[in-house]
Amino acid sequence: MPTLFVSDLDGTLLNKEDSLSEKTIETIHKLQEDGMCFTYATARSFSSAGKVAAGLVPSVPVVLYNGATILDAATGKVLKHTGFSLEESEVLQRVFTRINLCPLVYAYVAGEEKVSYIASDCNEGMEYYLEKRRGDKRLRPVDDTPELYEGEHFYYACIGEKEKLAPVYEVLQKDERFRVTFQQEIYRPEYWLEIMPATVSKANAILFLKELYGFDRIVSFGDSVNDIPMFEISDACYAVSNGADVLKELATEVIESNDADGVANWLSYHWQEQRMLSGMLYDVGDKLLADRRRLAHRLSKDYNDTYEEQEERREAILKELLPNSSLHIYLQGPIQFDYGTYTIFGSGCYANFNLTILDEGPVRIGKNVFFGPNCTLATPMHPLVADERWFRTRSNGEIYDWETSRPITVGDGCWIASNVTICGGVTIGENTVIGAGSVVTKDIPAGVLAAGNPCRVIREITEDDRILPESIRWKDTV
């Protein structure tokens, strides 16, 4: 279950000097050598991104032009490219002409990637952009409008004052054929209006990579509004402290700023955790993991020491222990979690006495799932060879060992009867019943009764298994 780590460039991975610090380059290079799958997603072209991110060679193809192009940075090969239809280009040209707006037109002209612009109609913001890219072979100054719109277009950028561009944004954002972003340039007064085909986004490009390479998790980093779609499809997302407020509200957590190497520091500090969640061999004695286990163990004990009528106290403990879960659940207790934060309960779940969840790997429990007494969900995997399993001692006296983990998923509406053990790597389909005393070592499909050690399907659950009269079947259900 590998994880793909994706970072925006400007304002996120790059510092205020539009470059990567030595620390960031060294950290990412070291982690990639240790198995991290990393790439960046940017509005820049590969020519531009390659210069500012010099020294960094992502292990996964990069996302360019906010998702219009996906390219292998090592070979320069384009894996996927999305452009405007002729009709869409003509619609946009009419809009630009009507308000006397001359955009930067990104297109393939005679088979070559070009950025066309009318040289005599450049404002201060455009001149700044062009000066920063002096010598770029893509730049194509033209004399008139017909020349400007030659080629196969895939991206438009309008640079200028907010007051002039805002009305265009208001019109185009309502058109379902286009994806439009409007934001102020980082560290500059001018605004950028960027127009792409509706299917183009960082999010769609990342989902393409996820399917292509078989990634199970996405962890993303960003700073701006054009990173919102990327955050929405991520399993975890982190906004740098210098980022937009709207992005911070969506983020799993706000991390250090781009100038403080926020992304590199987070990756370095959380690397063993991410190895654990990705199913890779990880160091159990890692400080972050040890601290989180101790917290979960303490919160589990605090919960077990409460009485059932202490509802507010119980809810407060679960809110801290299970921050990613619905609060509309009932856990009888005693309970025991190794981390809690890596377990997700859907609403309407119930667990009887002695629920144990060792959530070194992600545990996802759907809605309306019932657990009988003494159920265990165990994601950790110890080495089979004895001497690889033994505890080890660091030079400072700390004890540690090596493990892996595999995720567990329990679908909506399942009933897991008493004394059931679910092993790592198992998915149980929705509305399935697992009989008492079962040991589930392999996937179980949806809608069946299964039991045994090892657990096997006995039969399908059918309408003949209903016992409630139709008059009360759906009464008062939540």
Q: Is the peptide bond before 407 cis (omega within 30 degrees of 0)?
A: no
Identify whether the C-beta of residue 32 lies closer than 8 Å to the C-beta of residue 59.
yes
In this prediction, residue 398 carries a pLDDT of 86
Residue 152 lies in a domain: yes
pLDDT at 446: 98
Q: Which of 243, 277, 311 is the last residue of a domain?
A: 277
* Catalytic residue, candidates 270, 297, 328, 382: 382
pLDDT value of residue 400: 87
| Pair 335, 437 in one domain | yes
Let me know if residue 477 belongs to a domain: no
Phi, psi (rounded to 5 degrees) for 246: -65, -30
Among residues 208, 252, 215, the alpha carbon closest in space to that of 231 is found at 252
Q: Is 90 helix (H, G, I), strand (E, B) or coil?
A: helix
In sequence order, what E strands does 27-95 have? 37-40, 62-64, 69-71, 78-81
- Helix (DSSP H) and strand (DSSP E) numbers for the chain: 13, 35
Provide the domain limits for residue 159.
86-197
Same domain for 451 and 343?
yes
pLDDT of residue 111: 85
Q: 131 and 219 share a domain?
A: no
Among the three residues 255, 277, 299, which one is the final residue of a domain in this structure? 277
Q: Are residues 254 and 351 located together in one domain of the fold? A: no
Assess whether 270 carries a catalytic annotation. no
**Which tens digits make up the pLDDT trace of 295-312?**
999 999 999 999 999 999
Question: 417 and 318 share a domain?
Answer: yes
What's the distance, Cα to Cα, between the start and end of the chain in Å?
34
**Residue 314: inside a domain, yes or no?**
yes
Please identify every stretch of the chain with a pLDDT value under 70, giving residue numbers as ranges: 1, 476-478
Contact yes or no for 370/350 (Cβ under 8 A):
yes
Check: CB of residue 333 under 8 Å from CB of residue 353. yes
Same domain, 344 and 440: yes
Residues 211 and 338 in one domain: no
Number of domains in the chain: 3
3-state SS of 303-345 is: HHCCCCCCHHHHHHHHHHHCCCCCCCCEECCCEEECCCCCEEE
The answer to the question of residue 81 being in a domain is no
**Last residue of some domain: 179, 197, 215?**
197
Residues 345 and 362 sit within 8 Å (Cβ to Cβ): no
Tell me what pLDDT residue 472 has. 80
Are residues 131 and 46 part of one domain? no
Give the per-residue pLDDT at 358: 98
**In contact, 448 and 438? CB cutoff 8 Å:** no
Do 137 and 236 fall into the same domain? no
| Cα angle for residues 60, 61, 64 (degrees, 5° grid) | 135
Instruction: Return d(Cα 187, Cα 16) in angstroms, integer.
Output: 8
Is 80 within the bounds of a domain? no
Domain of residue 235, CATH code: 3.40.50.1000
